[in-house]
A and B are shown apart, each in its own frame.
Chain A
Amino acid sequence: MKPSQPRNQPPNWAVRFFRWYCNDHLSDAVLGDMLELYARRRSAKGKSKADALFILNVLLFLQPFAIKRKSNSTQANSIAMFQNYFKIAWRTMSRQKMYTGIKIGGFALGLATCILIFLFIRHEISYDKQYKAGAHLYRVYNDYSGPDGGKWTSFPASIVHILKSDFPEVEKAGRLIPYNGWFNAGSNLFRPADKLENSYEEGFAYADQELLEVLEIPMVYGNPLHALDKPNTVILSKRKADKYFPNEDPTGRTIILNEDKTKPYTIGGVMYDSPANTHLQFDFLLTLTGVEFWPGEQTSWCCWNYNAYVRLRPDANPAQLETKLLSIRDTYYVGYLQETGNQSAADVKKYQHFRLQPVAEIHLQSEGISDSIPHGDIRYIWLFGGIAIFILLLACINFINLSTAKSANRAKEVGLRKVVGSARGYLVRQFLTESLVYSFVSFVLAILVVSLAMPYFNSVAGKHLMIPWTEWWLFPILIAAAIVIGLLAGIYPSFYLSAFKPVDVLKGSVSRGSKSSKLRSGMVIFQFTTSIILIIGTVIIHRQMKFILNTKVGFDKEQVLTIQGANTMEGNQTTFKDELLKLADVEHVTINSYLPIEGTKRDQNPFWKDGKSKEEKAVGAQKWYADEDYLSTMGMKLVEGRNFILGLASDSQSIVINQAMAKAMGLTKPVGERIMNWETYTVIGVVEDFHFESMKGAIGPLSLVIGHGGSIVSVKAKSKNMANVLQSVTRVWNKFMPHQPIRYSFLDESYARMYDDVQRMGNIFASFAILAIIVACLGLFALSAFMVEQRSKEISIRLVLGASVRNVFRLLTQNFVKLVLISFVVAAPLSWYMMQKWLEDYKYRIEITWDVFLLAGMISVFIALLTVSYQSIRAALANPAESLRTE
Chain B
Amino acid sequence: MKGTSLGEFEELVLLAVGVLFDDAYGLALVDELEKQTGRNVMISSVHKALVRLEDKGYLKSHRGGATELRRGRDKRLYRLTQAGIKVLSHSREVRNSMWKQIPKIVWEGSKI
Query: Which A positions have Cβ atoms within 8 angstroms of B?
Result: 1, 3, 25-26, 28-37, 39, 57, 60-61, 63, 65-66, 70
A26-B69 contact given A32-B75, A33-B25, A33-B27, CB 8 Å threshold: no
User: Which residues of chain A are within 8 angstroms of B67 by Cβ–Cβ distance?
Assistant: 36
A60 CB to nearest B CB, Å: 4
Are B73 and A28 in contact, with the CB atoms below 8 A?
Answer: yes
User: Which residues of chain B are within 8 angstroms of A57 by Cβ–Cβ distance?
Assistant: 42-44
User: Which residues of chain B are within 8 angstroms of A70 by Cβ–Cβ distance?
Assistant: 51
User: Which residues of chain A are within 8 angstroms of B71 by Cβ–Cβ distance?
Assistant: 1, 3, 32, 35
Closest chain B residue to A30, Cβ basis = B47
Can you name 20 extra interface pairs (CB under 8 A) apart from A28-B63, A30-B26?
A3-B71, A26-B51, A28-B73, A29-B75, A33-B25, A33-B47, A33-B70, A35-B71, A35-B73, A36-B67, A36-B69, A37-B27, A37-B30, A37-B43, A39-B69, A57-B43, A60-B42, A63-B48, A65-B51, A66-B47
Closest 10 CB pairs of A and B: A32-B73, A29-B76, A32-B70, A33-B26, A1-B72, A60-B44, A33-B27, A65-B51, A61-B44, A28-B73
Interface residues of A, dominant DSSP: helix
A201 CB to nearest B CB, Å: 78
B52 interface hit (Cβ, 8 Å):
yes
Are A29 and B51 in contact, with the CB atoms below 8 A?
Answer: no
Offer 6 A-B interface pairs, CB within 8 angstroms, sorted by A.
A25-B51, A26-B76, A31-B73, A35-B73, A36-B27, A57-B44
A714 CB to nearest B CB, Å: 89
Are B48 and A65 in contact, with the CB atoms below 8 A?
Answer: yes
A516 to B27, CA, bound (A): 44
A837 to B66, CA, bound (A): 67
Are B74 and A29 in contact, with the CB atoms below 8 A?
Answer: yes
User: Which residues of chain B are within 8 angstroms of A61 by Cβ–Cβ distance?
Assistant: 44, 47
Q: Which residues between 48 and 79 of chain B lie within 8 Å of chain A, taking CB atoms?
A: 48, 51-52, 63, 66-67, 69-76
Contact of A29 among B25, B44, B69 (CB under 8 A): B25
B51 CB to nearest A CB, Å: 5
User: Which residues of chain A are within 8 angstroms of B69 by Cβ–Cβ distance?
Assistant: 35-36, 39
Q: Which residues between 16 and 31 of chain B lie within 8 Å of chain A, taking CB atoms?
A: 25-27, 30
The listed residue with most B CB atoms (<10 A of its CB), out of A31, A35, A36, A66, is: A36
User: Which residues of chain B are within 8 angstroms of A28 by Cβ–Cβ distance?
Assistant: 63, 73-74, 76
Kindly supply a per-residue 1/0 record for chain B positions 69-110, scoring 1 wherever the CB is within 8 Å of any chain A CB and 0 otherwise. 111111110000000000000000000000000000000000
A453 CB to nearest B CB, Å: 55
User: Which residues of chain A are within 8 angstroms of B30 by Cβ–Cβ distance?
Assistant: 37
A487 to B42, CA, bound (A): 37
B53 CB to nearest A CB, Å: 11
B10 CB to nearest A CB, Å: 13
Closest chain A residue to B54, Cβ basis = A70
Are B52 and A29 in contact, with the CB atoms below 8 A?
Answer: no
A11 CB to nearest B CB, Å: 15
Are B43 and A34 in contact, with the CB atoms below 8 A?
Answer: yes
User: Which residues of chain B are within 8 angstroms of A34 by Cβ–Cβ distance?
Assistant: 43
A32-B74 contact given A26-B51, A37-B27, A65-B52, CB 8 Å threshold: yes
A32 to B70, CA, bound (A): 5
A26 to B47, CA, bound (A): 9
User: Which residues of chain B are within 8 angstroms of A60 by Cβ–Cβ distance?
Assistant: 42-44
Closest chain B residue to A9, Cβ basis = B71
Closest chain A residue to B42, Cβ basis = A60
A63-B75 contact given A29-B26, A32-B70, A36-B70, CB 8 Å threshold: no
A704 CB to nearest B CB, Å: 90
Closest chain A residue to B52, Cβ basis = A65
A32 to B52, CA, bound (A): 20
User: Which residues of chain B are within 8 angstroms of A37 by Cβ–Cβ distance?
Assistant: 27, 30, 43
A33 to B70, CA, bound (A): 7
